[in-house]
Structure 1
Amino acid sequence: MSTVFVVGSLNIDQNIRVRSLPRAGETVRGSDATFSPGGKGGNQAVAAARAGATVTFTGAVGDDAHGRKILAVLAEAGIDAGHVQVSGTTATGAAIIAVDDQGENQIIVSPGANSGLTAADVDAGLAAVRAGDVLVLQLEIPTTLVRQAARTARSRGAFVILNAAPAPRQIDGLLDDVDLLVVNEQEIRVLADLAGVSGSHQELVQTLPPALGPAIVCTASAEGSFTVLDGGLVHVPAARVDAKDTTGAGDTFVGYLAAALAGGPRELPAAMIHATRASALAVTRTGAMESIPWLHEVPAPAPNPAMPSLVVPN
């Protein structure tokens, strides 16, 4: 089986429950803060590992209690964290997350040790990448490192997935070595503005790939997810669940999607269905990493030979 390589962020999440998310200038009362491991890179790596993939992670934490807690969760998931750097001078990255009674959230991220990741760290972490592997990237680390990692992995025949979150301020060269772009409905509109294209997120899934290069999967909360294959729009509906906390749902989707595509030739729609079912379970729980389900909890989608397919090279 191919390996899923993840280069990305590791944060400690400070979670606060509120009745409603604050407006600009508003103060709201929240619950006592709880702390849990997170970061988009870490969440996606844990999701891929819990989905059954072999996962190698490159990132950075501080030499502190939060960093040690994150490393323990990665180890529990079976992730090779030998390329996670431990900084003695910078604290572990942090995210302050407010979650309302509907499960929606607002997030502020402080990068901390993530900013200390270097080009040499990325080279070392991707030294074993080979054809058929999958690389997963996000944008909570410097974009120069994201471009470097994508270029390195793709030059060796790996399949590169970029979750463009947080949404980038510019895209010059960012997508040159990306095979599949995963975005939500807000992020796809930011990319559309940067590319000078307009439309609904369903329309943008079809019109942006010629302008940007990579194929696109767009997640749209209760609407489900969308992509285009063989010129036609493919819609995977969302599961109906009682959402408690949407934090980490998108990361669960990305990790499960990567694991499915690394498991051998797979239809992209089938991988999206599996990822959707996993993220639906995640939102019924609280927190980020701790909400991600294990493979045995997620029913596998039945294969559909009539569906068009996107095949990851072996």
Structure 2
Amino acid sequence: MPKSYVFTEYGGPETQAFVDLPRPVPGPGQLLVAVHAAGVNPVDWKVRAGYLREFLPLPLPATFGTEVAGVVEEIGDGVEGFTIGDEVFGALPLLGGYAEYVLLPVQTAARKPAGVSFTDAATLSVSAATAQQGIDRLNLTPGATLLVNGAGGGIGVAAVQIARGLGATVIGTAGPGKAEFVSSLGATHVPYGEGVADRVTAVAPNGVDAVFDLVGGDALYAVAHLVADKSRIVTAADPTAAAELGGGYFQVEQTGDTLSPVAALVASGALDPHVTTVMPFAEAAAALAQVEAGHALGKTVLTMR
């Protein structure tokens, strides 16, 4: 039977396991996808740890993973616009991506361009889509100075590139170990931690025009005063801080209409997802541990085929 990687209860890595599950059968509005690659994201271990159980209660065991790329094998009733054999990618609203086969809702599926690899496509539904939608909300103009708070992860990597493509000057906070990586994207790296605001001010003495926050909490409060207009703060990490500061919080919209433009950016060469770690499905535990420890540069992807 097809394998899936699950957590059997809320807690730490000791709750994780491979299990054999029946091959799913697509219902109305669903695609059965043979998964070629699945993105590994911080939300995966956060769900397992129980941080989101109040908002996302799940029947257990639950399969990890929220974004996949693969090939359509079967089509459920009422599905239009897709055929068997189509190469697709998309988002799974209730997890399930660390598996050899998944049921992908047609509303959250998009065709994979021929020039985009499965491993790249498997990173677009969460990180790249979040980056594009966050940058869109800021409506940056050429020459604007943007602070990306948390530039070393998957969303930050995409956000820096998209903002640079719009002609913005980008400053990115990240750990010291990610300095060279962040700089290679075209951003000015600033180490996070105590004194971060002073270090940003040294680079941008007149402050910044906007903040795209991917960290939240104290890290956001530490830099919020650097932008005069607090409505120019957008966070994908901390709705409480956004409300207190007068900024905006958003959750990524994952539909075929919002995902296809991101894939087009990758196909054109305007966006590199920077998949820096590709591991076979058998090493799912190690891949997730790397992301949970915060040591991953760019994106981590599991390959099933």
Q: TM-score, normalised by structure 2?
A: 0.30
Structure number with larger C-alpha Rg:
2
Q: TM-score, normalised by structure 1?
A: 0.29
